[in-house]
């Protein structure tokens, strides 16, 4: 289980014992509050959390305080500032366009008591003479307030308002947003709004200062009645009036010494980088690695170091080739170029490119409709006066465009960006694969060579995370979601020293370096556990290792739930996907893909059926732009294409790192499908709980032993028996346990004899046998019930990397690509057992292991009108129930629940003989592994019934599954204590 609250520092240990004691915080903000993450929130809730009736004001005050002080701006405050910008843009523009924005003085004329309390709960004393509250109304509906007091002076939005006439009002969330972020400006020009916000940012140093209010107040005084309505003035020409700047054209957006320092460049947004609020950093340079090592990364982000040639006049912008060698005259290591992600609201991520010394890059402005921009002089002011607005800049490395900093209000959409692509995304627990297909129709793996996602933890401002999106065998993106969710990036993370947490450093060696070293290592491409940095990976010298000090610290209490069970952690899944999407977008940009209609239109993704519908919808809607999705096994079936065209039924089996998705197809229709959370993960977990299975092997990593040729040879042999990804996953997840085990037991556990391992693996094998056999037993029953099809033949389509785990657990039959020996037999036998007569079963394996799902998503055969809308989508839909005699009926879930509750199925059309438990018992007695269950505690019918009722209750809206699967899942829970 994960840590819920930040761990507090223990006092130094003296003597033999410490008794518990109460200790005062030195700095509760830094030591405690700052470490608590906010996760996701909505404004309505957050405001009501504050124990003060002025809660909204408190929030606005806090946001502005953060803004003014610099440093970390919390996600919450960013949100508030966005709202404020939306409100301010509206208020400021009322003058030019005469919109009905009113400001009324509020008088506590209602109940006397609330007046007293409102003032009593005010954060500092209310001064009747100087302090005032105004209501801001739009079209006579309240949208906010304006407070003028010692504590807070400025605007704030109301707790509840609806102003749907305002283009940047987000009706879904019920908030005003910064218009520049939404790109919706209504009848106003972008410049107007930009200027309005520039006023806020520039003329008032970020807050609506009381000087502005004083002007407003003079208006109030001028009006006789007290309550007033601000007159709609067409143009404020008085230079002295703070709002006058609104009407001035901005032509001085670029100036020497830096680029894009003005708010207009990126929509007026500020970004955080290394906890430093930067005016805007579209592109910047850092001698990254070295500075990072020296802990001076902050200084690296000095825009003055941008050696971009700028024309003499402020209104001219000359883009010229820039030779980075100037920067690298010293012994600095290679530099990193960063491209901030303006999409990120709470975490700030950057693309980083590591450049070589001779690389040359150029920066070019982009204008809408102009296509390739000629390098040379450009009159920038034109961008804001012509019909062709300035869109952003393009960054090129040599001839290759590596980034575009775009002005947010519009997608770049010139004729040159008209390429058509579709992208398939399969994000697994342990591997992510992205396939891309162009108009020619060939699906390929999409990789992100040399790109890195760097995430800065805004909570601490210090922690960094680097995930190299590196191409590996099979074009896999080696950045699975599980790795993304490491402890340090969870909201309560902090520095290791302070927390005193039991972290074992796990270095993932992504780069093996010189070939002469690589060939010596049996650990090509796998993770290596290095407990407490005391010794180094096998075959790699200390110095060499440090040079490639890439990587991360992993303690993974959170990983288990990242994709699944812990709602709080799903946030990180979304973050992960957001990052991934960013990279995909970048790649598409480079390929000049037409993104004008949003990425959701070209992206397809897949989910395991075990993922609940709500989560699926959330991912699609919030992150993936509404991209279409189908289940993983459904995608596999499209990859093989056969199931939907041939008469032969097909069973798609996708065994991944976290789930097994199985679907039975006949003539293009899903006849049965399920998803169980038994896959590579179960193998990994099991091995982790029985460390001696691997401890024998890992022991040899000990420094003392690794130079011993004989032992090294043994280790090599042992490790070679295990597939790379199995070892990698196991070690990355459970490295800590292993390390602890090794430290404790030392050499004594080295046996070299795997017979005890086989014995230990028996329960795991039983579980896997039972699970897969029961599923296939059910599929056999289903097959038997199909009419008009020659069901004596069936094809099984393999997909996913979890098969490797099975291979290891059961032992392979030897031939490459063959279904693993024992488990293959189990599946076949169970199928035949249920079918009742001999069958011809072909097992098909693709030559592109682990890629089937993503590529299947790109199949032209998919009819997206009906795909993904299988029976499980609608929890109220009926589900197929197959009787033992092949009788098929449609029974509702409710009737099944009734059956479970009462033992009697109350439907008109289901035979009395229907009894899932009998079927289960029959299966248990006859299936391939039955002999292993002679002594197992098989749950009774009554026990199963109770558990199933619970299961129905707890998974009610999550996953729809055939009753038989409920029975077996329940049995598995009972026997193995594993909750699927």
Partner 1 sequence: MNRFVVTIGGTGAKCFEALVFLSAAGAFNQDVTLFHIDPDKNNGNWIKAYSALLSFQEIKKQISRRDILGRVFNSSFQPPVEGMWVHNPYPRKTDTENYTSLREYCGNDDELLQLLFAEKARNDDWEIGFKGRASVGSIAAAACIKEGLDPWDTIIKRINSDATEETRFFLLGSIFGGSGASIFPTVAKLLSKRIVNAEKFVIGGSLLFPYFRFEVPTEESLKAIDRTSEDFAKPGDFLPKAKQHLEYYQKSPQGLFRRIYIVGCDQPRFIPPFYGGKEQMNPSHYLEMVAVMAGKDFFTVASPELKKLKYMHLCEGMEVGAGNSAKQREGDEKIKDAVIWKIFPEGEAIGEKLLVFATMAYSFLEFWNPLLDSEEFKRTMWFKELIGDDPQFREKIAALGDFFEKYLNWLLEIHYGNYNTISGGYDFDSNMQLFDAASIKKLLGEVNAGGVAHDAATQLNRLKYNLMKNDGNLSYTPRLNAPYDGLFLWKNKDEYEKIKKVNRGLSQFESLLNIIKTTSESLVKENYRY
- C-alpha 280/C-alpha 261 separation (Å) is 6
Q: How far is the CB of 24 from partner 1 (least distance, A)?
A: 4
Strand order in the sheet with 451-456: 284-286, 336-340, 348-354, 451-456, 464-469
Smallest gap from residue 57 Cβ to partner 1 (A): 8
Select 106 or 864, whichever has its Cβ closest to partner 1.
106
Contact 246, 107 (CB under 8 A): no
CB of residue 467 to partner 1, shortest distance in Å: 26
CB closer to partner 1, 524 vs 950: 950
Q: How far is the CB of 70 from partner 1 (least distance, A)?
A: 18
* Cβ pair 195, 246 in contact under 8 A: yes
Nearer Cβ to partner 1, position 28 or 621? 28
Spatial separation of the C-alpha atoms in residues 288 and 277, rounded to whole Å: 18
State the alpha helices, DSSP H only, in 816-876: 821-835, 852-856
- Cα separation, 309 vs 893, in Å, equals 70
CB 164 within 8 A of CB 171: yes
Closest distance of CB 557 from partner 1, Å:
9
| Closest approach of partner 1 to the CB of residue 265, in Å | 33
Q: Given the structure tokens 């019909």, which residue do they identify?
A: 387
**451 vs 110: CA distance, rounded Å:** 61
Q: How near is the Cβ of 39 to partner 1 at its closest, in Å?
A: 6
Minimum gap (Å) between residue 120 Cβ and partner 1: 5
Closest CB to partner 1 among residues 11, 225: 11
Q: How far is the CB of 109 from partner 1 (least distance, A)?
A: 9
HSE-up (13 A, CA, CB side) for residue 354: 16
Tokens standing for residue 178: 């910064």
- Smallest distance from the beta carbon of 897 to partner 1, in angstroms? 12
Beta strand extents in 139-207 (DSSP E only): 141-148, 153-157, 169-170, 175-176
> Can you give the length of the chain in residues?
980
Q: Considering the complex, what minimum distance in angstroms separates the CB of residue 499 from partner 1? A: 10
Report the DSSP beta bridge partners of residue 741: none
Tell me the C-alpha to C-alpha distance, in Å, between residue 575 and each of 555, 562, 588. 19, 11, 20
Q: Which of residues 371 and 502 has its CB atom nearest to partner 1 in the complex?
A: 502
* Between 354 and 946, CB nearer to partner 1: 946
**883 φ, ψ to 5°?**
-80, 165
Nearer to partner 1, 151 or 384 (CB): 151
Q: Which is nearer to partner 1, 14 or 837 (CB)?
A: 14
DSSP letter assigned to residue 585: H
By beta-carbon proximity to partner 1, the closer residue of 84 and 794 is: 84
Q: Which is nearer to partner 1, 18 or 901 (CB)?
A: 18
Pick between residue 423 and residue 969 the one whose CB is nearest to partner 1. Answer: 969
CB 963 → partner 1: shortest distance, Å?
18
Contacts of 289 (CB under 8 A, 6+ apart): 333, 334, 336
Would you say the C-alpha torsion 766, 767, 768, 771 has a positive or negative sign? positive
CA distances to 70, 95, 148, 154 from 65, rounded to whole Å, are 8, 28, 16, 12
**418 alpha-carbon distance from chain centroid:** 28
- Bridge pairing between strands 132-138 and 101-105: antiparallel
109 CB burial (10 A radius; 0-12, 13-18, 19+)? exposed
Q: Is the dihedral of CA 664, 665, 671, 674 positive or negative?
A: positive
- Least gap, CB of 10 to partner 1 (angstroms): 7
Among residues 795, 842, 781, 799, which one has the least CA distance to residue 647?
A: 795
Question: For partner 1, which is the closer residue by CB, 74 or 289?
Answer: 74
Q: What is the token pair recorded at 519?
A: 């060939």
Beta bridge partners of 505: 553
The nearer residue to partner 1, 110 or 514, going by C-beta atoms, is 110
**How many Å apart are CA 495 and CA 464, to the nearest integer?**
11
Estimate to the nearest angstrom the gap between the alpha carbon of 500 and the chain centroid. 28
Nearer Cβ to partner 1 (62/591):
62
Distance CA 857, CA 424 (A): 5
Which residue number, 14 or 755, has a Cβ lying nearer to partner 1? 14
CB of 621 to partner 1, least distance (A): 17
Least distance to partner 1, CB of residue 689, Å: 12
Q: What is the C-alpha separation between 432 and 480, in angstroms, rounded?
A: 5
CB 487 within 8 A of CB 463: no
- Closest approach, Cβ 978 to partner 1, in A, equals 12
Q: By the 8 A CB rule, do 583 and 448 touch?
A: yes
Query: Which residue, 400 or 953, has its beta carbon nearer to partner 1?
Result: 953
Q: Which residue in this structure is represented by tokens 């208020």?
A: 91
The least distance separating partner 1 from the CB of residue 338, rounded to whole angstroms, comes to: 30
CA–CA separation, 607 and 427 (whole Å): 8
339 vs 737: CA distance, rounded Å: 38
Tokens of 120: 């009593």
Closer CB to partner 1, 492 or 714, in the complex: 492
Q: How far is the CB of 525 from partner 1 (least distance, A)?
A: 29
Choice between 743 and 842, CB closer to partner 1 = 743
- Cα 395 to Cα 340: distance, rounded to the nearest angstrom: 13
What phi, psi does 200 have (nearest 5°)? -60, -45
* Other Cβ atoms closer than 10 A to 341: 20
């Amino acid at each position: 289980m994960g840590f819920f609250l930040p761990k507090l520092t223990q006092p130094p240990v003296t003597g033999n014992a410490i008794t518990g004691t109460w200790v005062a915080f030195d700095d509760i903000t830094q030591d405690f509050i700052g470490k608590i993450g906010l996760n996701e929130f909505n404004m309505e809730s957050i405001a009501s959390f504050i124990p003060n009736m002025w809660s909204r004001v408190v929030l606005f005050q806090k946001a502005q305080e953060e803004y003014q002080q610099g440093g970390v701006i919390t996600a919450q405050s960013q949100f508030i500032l966005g709202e404020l910008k939306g409100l301010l843009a509206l208020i400021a523009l009322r003058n030019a366009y005469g919109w009905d924005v009113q400001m009324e003085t509020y008088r506590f004329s209602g109940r006397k008591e609330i007046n007293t309390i409102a003032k009593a709960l005010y954060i500092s004393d209310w001064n009747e003479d100087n302090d005032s509250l105004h209501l801001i109304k739009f079209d006579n509906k309240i949208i906010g307030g304006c407070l003028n007091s010692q504590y807070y002076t400025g605007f704030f939005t109301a707790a509840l308002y609806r102003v749907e006439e305002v283009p940047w009002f987000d009706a879904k969330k019920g908030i005003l947003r910064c218009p520049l972020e939404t790109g919706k400006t209504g009848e106003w020009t972008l410049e107007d709004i930009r200027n309005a916000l520039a006023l806020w940012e520039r003329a008032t140093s970020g807050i609506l200062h009381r000087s502005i209010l004083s002007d407003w107040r003079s208006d109030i005084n001028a009006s006789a009645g007290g309550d007033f309505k601000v007159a709609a003035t067409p143009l404020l020409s008085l230079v002295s009036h703070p709002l006058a700047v609104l009407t001035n054209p901005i032509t001085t957006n670029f100036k020497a010494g830096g680029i894009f320092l003005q708010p207009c460049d990126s929509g007026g947004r500020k970004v955080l980088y290394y906890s430093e609020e930067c005016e805007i950093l579209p592109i910047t340079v850092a001698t990254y690695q070295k500075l990072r090592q020296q802990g001076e990364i902050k200084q690296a982000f000095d825009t003055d170091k941008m050696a971009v040639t700028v024309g003499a006049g402020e209104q001219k912008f000359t883009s010229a080739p820039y030779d980075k060698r100037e920067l690298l005259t010293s012994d600095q290591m290679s530099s990193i170029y960063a491209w901030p992600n303006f999409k990120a609201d709470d975490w700030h991520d950057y693309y980083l490119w590591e450049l070589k010394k001779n690389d040359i890059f150029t920066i070019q402005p982009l204008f809408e409709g102009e296509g390739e921009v000629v390098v040379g002089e450009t009159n920038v002011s034109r961008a804001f006066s012509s019909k062709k607005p300035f869109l952003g800049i393009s960054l090129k490395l040599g001839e290759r465009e590596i980034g575009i900093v775009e002005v947010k209000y519009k997608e770049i959409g010139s004729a040159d960006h008209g390429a058509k692509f579709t992208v398939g995304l399969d994000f697994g627990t342990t591997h992510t694969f992205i396939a891309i297909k162009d108009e020619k129709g060939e699906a390929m793996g999409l990789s992100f060579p040399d790109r890195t996602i760097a995430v800065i933890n805004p909570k601490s401002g210090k922690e960094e995370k680097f995930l190299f999106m590196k191409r590996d065998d099979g074009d896999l993106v080696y950045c699975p979601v599980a790795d993304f969710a490491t402890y340090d990036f969870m909201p309560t993370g902090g520095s290791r020293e302070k927390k005193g947490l039991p972290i074992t450093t796990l270095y993932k060696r992504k780069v093996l370096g010189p070939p002469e070293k690589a060939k010596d290592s049996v650990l090509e491409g796998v993770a290596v556990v290095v407990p407490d940095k005391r010794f180094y990976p096998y075959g790699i010298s200390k110095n060499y290792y440090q040079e490639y000090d890439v990587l991360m610290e992993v303690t993974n209490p959170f990983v288990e739930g990242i994709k699944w069970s812990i709602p709080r952690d799903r946030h990180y899944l979304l973050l992960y996907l957001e990052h991934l999407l960013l990279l995909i977008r970048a790649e598409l940009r480079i390929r000049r893909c037409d993104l004008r209609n949003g990425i959701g239109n070209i992206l397809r993704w897949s989910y395991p059926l075990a993922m609940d519908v709500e989560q699926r919808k959330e991912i699609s809607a919030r992150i993936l732009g509404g991209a279409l999705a189908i289940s993983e096994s459904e995608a596999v079936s499209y990859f093989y294409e056969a199931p939907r065209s041939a008469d032969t039924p097909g069973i798609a089996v996708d065994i991944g790192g976290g789930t097994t998705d199985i679907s039975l197809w006949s003539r293009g229709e899903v006849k049965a499908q399920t998803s169980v959370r038994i896959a590579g993960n179960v193998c990994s977990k099991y091995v982790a709980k029985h460390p001696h299975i691997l401890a024998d092997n890992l022991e040899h990593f000990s420094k003392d032993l690794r130079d011993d040729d004989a032992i090294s040879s043994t280790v090599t042999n042992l490790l070679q028996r295990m597939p790379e990804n199995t070892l990698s996953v196991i070690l990355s997840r459970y490295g800590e346990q292993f390390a602890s085990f090794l430290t404790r037991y030392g050499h004594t556990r080295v046996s070299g004899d795997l017979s005890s391992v086989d014995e230990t693996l028996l329960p795991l094998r039983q579980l896997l046998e039972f699970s897969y056999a029961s599923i296939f037993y059910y599929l056999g029953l289903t097959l038997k019930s199909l009419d008009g099809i020659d069901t004596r033949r069936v094809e099984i389509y393999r997909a996913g990397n979890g098969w490797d785990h099975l291979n290891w657990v059961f032992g392979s039959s030897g031939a490459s690509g063959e279904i693993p020996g024992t488990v293959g037999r189990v599946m076949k036998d169970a199928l035949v057992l249920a079918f009742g007569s001999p069958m011809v079963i072909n097992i098909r394996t693709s030559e592109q292991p682990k890629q089937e799902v993503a590529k299947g998503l790109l199949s032209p055969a998919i009819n997206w009108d009906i795909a993904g809308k299988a029976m499980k989508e609608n929890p109220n839909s009926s589900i197929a129930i197959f009787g033992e005699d092949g009788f098929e009926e449609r029974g509702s879930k409710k009737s099944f629940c009734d059956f479970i509750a009462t033992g009697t199925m109350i439907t008109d059309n289901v035979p009395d003989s229907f009894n899932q438990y009998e079927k289960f018992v029959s299966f248990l007695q006859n299936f391939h592994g039955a002999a292993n269950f002679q002594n197992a505690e098989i749950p009774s019918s009554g026990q199963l019934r109770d558990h199933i009722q619970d299961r129905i209750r707890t998974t009610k809206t999550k996953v729809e599954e055939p009753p038989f699967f409920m029975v077996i899942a329940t049995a598995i829970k009972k026997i193995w204590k594993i909750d699927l």
